[in-house]
Amino acid sequence: MTDGSSRVTPFLIGVVSDTHGVLSDEAYDALKGVDTIVHAGDIGDGLVLDLLEAVAPVVLVRGNSRCKTEVGRAQIADVVVGGARIIVAHRAEDLPPLAAGAGAPVRLVVTGHTHVAVIEERGGVLHVNPGSPSQPRKGSAASVALVEVGADGLVTARIVTLV
């Protein structure tokens, strides 16, 4: 996977979590055109990974549901995507201290598990939980997130509510 460091255009990352074996047409359409997909675990058994890989390369971490698709996957991923260092874990409490530190060179932290979408900046690090496209909780809507890494290295995110 390229780190995107020589890009002059923005790099688009699709962020999804907690699909639990279901990827709606709306979620699939929202992710079309991304350069990479980050899945923060609980992908579920079935064809979800195949569908996502048909769109773009996928970074996937193990969730807590222990589905066959996640066997052998790491609990935490520390990757460079689009020129930005990203830490991915299913649950926020599983994040290493480096991801929470104000001086860490991490640009983006992705978690899932709660099924509720949230974007927050903490100590100069953007934290994104995309919610769930298949089983939203606490009255939230089904959702995914899109993260853009600008040519200048600026990382921004938005939640895409699925209809």
Q: What is the pLDDT of residues 33-64, one digit of tens each?
A: 999 999 999 999 779 999 999 999 999 999 99
User: What whole-number distance in Å separates Cα of residue 76 and Cα of residue 79?
Assistant: 10
pLDDT band at 91 (very low <50, low <70, confident <90, very high): very high
Tell me the mean pLDDT in the region 17-36.
Answer: 97
E strands along the chain, which residues? 11-16, 36-39, 58-60, 76-81, 84-89, 108-110, 117-122, 125-130, 143-149, 155-161
Residue 6 has pLDDT above 80, yes or no: no
Domains, the chain = 11-161 (3.60.21.10)
- Mean model confidence pLDDT for the chain: 90
Residue-wise pLDDT for 143-152, tens only, equals 999 999 998 8
pLDDT band at 8 (very low <50, low <70, confident <90, very high): low
pTM here is: 0.90
Of the listed ranges 11-20, 60-69, 108-117, the least confidently predicted one is: 60-69
Q: 71 vs 90, which has greater pLDDT?
A: 90
